[in-house]
Amino acid sequence: MKTTVHRPKPGRLRLIRQTLSELPSPSDYSPVSTAVEKSTQLGEDQISATLTSLLSLPQSTTVFANPIQHQTTVTCSEAEIELQIRSFAIRGLIQESEIVSGQLTPAQLIFTGLFGQQPQALDDLDQAELLGSLIDRKFFRVTGEKRIGLNGSATIPYLVATFMQAYPEAGPELAVQYLSTLQKSQRSSRTDRGFSDQRHIGLFLTQQIAAHMNNVAIGAMSTYMRYQLAEKPDFPSAELARQTADFITLHQDEGKTAFQTTYSLLLGRKATEIEGRILEMMGMIQTHHGSAASNMVARYMASLHTVSISDFFVASQMILDGKRHFGAIHNMTSFVRELEQLSAEERESVIREKVLTGGLPTFGHPEISAAGRGQKIQQDPRAAIYLSPLFDAVDSGQIELSDNQLRSLEIVQRIYQIVFVEGVVKPGYKEEPPLRLTPNTDFGAWCVQEALGISDPDRTLLTYIFRGFGWIMDGREQLQLKIIRPVIAPDPVIIPDSEDDQTVPNLVLSVHNRLSQTLNAFTKNWSI
């Protein structure tokens, strides 16, 4: 029977091509050039000469901004501490509070970042739905694709299965790197043209999304296979591959998006609605890491016009294995397991020592003042944003935690109390205020994934899924302006005015109050 291929109508096809071919307007905010001009006018030749050496860092970014936008006062022991809460804005069009309140889908958020405008409905074309369907299509097709492995051609699920059988403890990032290497080794006449500002913008974007969702599917399949192999180590490769592909196809048949399907793969079972919402919010918030090292690498790779699109993603992802990002989550797991073997008194001593020696994972931040002895300290709100819906789900009975999970999370809660609520006093300096550290995004990510039962090697995948779209946003900006270092101040037009919406500061305060109490914050029907 001949299959009928339904092609878009010419007018709709034109709108699709037009939508995908648009780039955001470049920034015209150039603080270095402006400073050189002013210093020259003032006759400050030395200053002018110094600034001129920085002219290779011209216009500022128009993608992300995370200014201090809120303040709230929390009680830490008997002290009143003012938290200066960092914010998240994308293109100056989407605020953090919109994500927290559930007003946006991933496709709407990503569209705004990629195109510098909020999605619209043009004739019968919904721009967010267009992008969402493109992302889904590139993800779901991976189960049927073939690639040449060490033993000949095979489907991607089969190649992932054989890799996971050989290296069952390997994280999803290694499965992605392995399959990426296989793809690069078999280039044919369809050579990967990589990054270039000479390419057709729409086709180029489509290929970037295809490469990223290919990697997402591979990484997510590897996490699902880990659960299966834990129960049946001798699972035949062909059967493991088939079962994984069927699991993905089932979600597709039920109308699940690519993102929703990855949540189930990440859990090793079908995600409930509340689990999906918790993971989706956490992922969407993590799209933003505008000044992080991985985005810097993405910009650097794009500015060099790397010859392989896959290299753009793999190189950016590899930097996340460092101690500051993915490494912090894995280090927290190791640290908690270490503390579990100690008495309560010994734990307290080890935690305080970690603070004073700078070795405590998931607390502090290298780019913001998240540590101090004064009455003001900066706060990354993301940990609280992740934890709030988890607490709601626990209280409503939608998520139940095991005794082992409760013990681990109680230890982490105690770390929070020692490090931030009580603070740590350096020996011999009892008259000085205690040193306090606020938790960073990895603290909340670790707690949520511990509560959901996600394996430690897989606790970095959700960040990669959404961060990859942030890399594409940065890469697209590089096609117009070579801004290798995203630490340049963002264009003022994308920094929002102070919000009257108190959703985020209220949420930060609520989570702080819950973690500050003596009761286990992760138990059902918790109350102050």
Residue 380's beta-bridge partner residues?
none
Does the pLDDT value for residue 125 go beyond 90?
A: no
Residue type, 504: V
Contact 139, 146 (CB under 8 A): no
Does the pLDDT value for residue 394 go beyond 90?
A: yes
DSSP symbol at 488 = S
Q: Which two tokens stand for residue 110?
A: 């990503």
Averaged pLDDT, 220-229: 97
Residue type, 434: P
Q: Return phi, psi of residue 153, to 5°.
A: -75, 140
The pLDDT, as a whole number, for residue 189 is: 43
- Nearest alpha-carbon partner for 223 in 168, 293, 284, 144: 168
The pLDDT, as a whole number, for residue 188 is: 56
Terminal C-alpha separation, the chain: 66
Give the least confident one: 34-38, 127-131, 281-285, 496-500: 496-500
Give how far Cα 446 sits from Cα of 159, 168, 279, 330, Å. Answer: 29, 21, 12, 9
- Nearest alpha-carbon partner for 223 in 239, 247, 251, 254: 247
Residues contacting residue 296 through CB under 8 Å, at least 6 positions apart:
484, 485, 486, 487
The pLDDT, as a whole number, for residue 485 is: 59
Does the pLDDT value for residue 179 go beyond 90?
A: yes
The pLDDT, as a whole number, for residue 411 is: 97
Q: Which two tokens stand for residue 326?
A: 């993915």
Domain boundaries, the chain: 106-322+460-503
Q: Compute the distance between CA of residue 455 and CA of residue 441 in angstroms, rounded to an integer.
A: 18
Does the pLDDT value for residue 322 go beyond 70?
A: no
- Nearest alpha-carbon partner for 63 in 86, 29, 41, 89: 89
Does the pLDDT value for residue 19 go beyond 60?
A: yes
Q: Among the ranges 214-228, 288-302, 321-335, which has the highest mean pLDDT value? A: 214-228
CATH 1.10.580.10 for domain 106-322+460-503, yes or no, is: yes
pTM over 0.85: yes
Q: Compute the distance between CA of residue 461 and CA of residue 390 in angstroms, rounded to an integer.
A: 19
The pLDDT, as a whole number, for residue 498 is: 66
Q: Which two tokens stand for residue 69?
A: 């936008």
Contact 62, 491 (CB under 8 A): yes
Alpha helix positions (H), 268-402: 273-285, 293-303, 309-318, 326-340, 344-357, 382-395
Kind of pairing between the strands at 79-86 and 376-379: parallel
Does the pLDDT value for residue 250 go beyond 70?
A: yes
Local confidence band at 479 (pLDDT 50, 70, 90 cut-offs): confident
Q: What DSSP string runs through 399-413? A: S---HHHHHHHHHHH
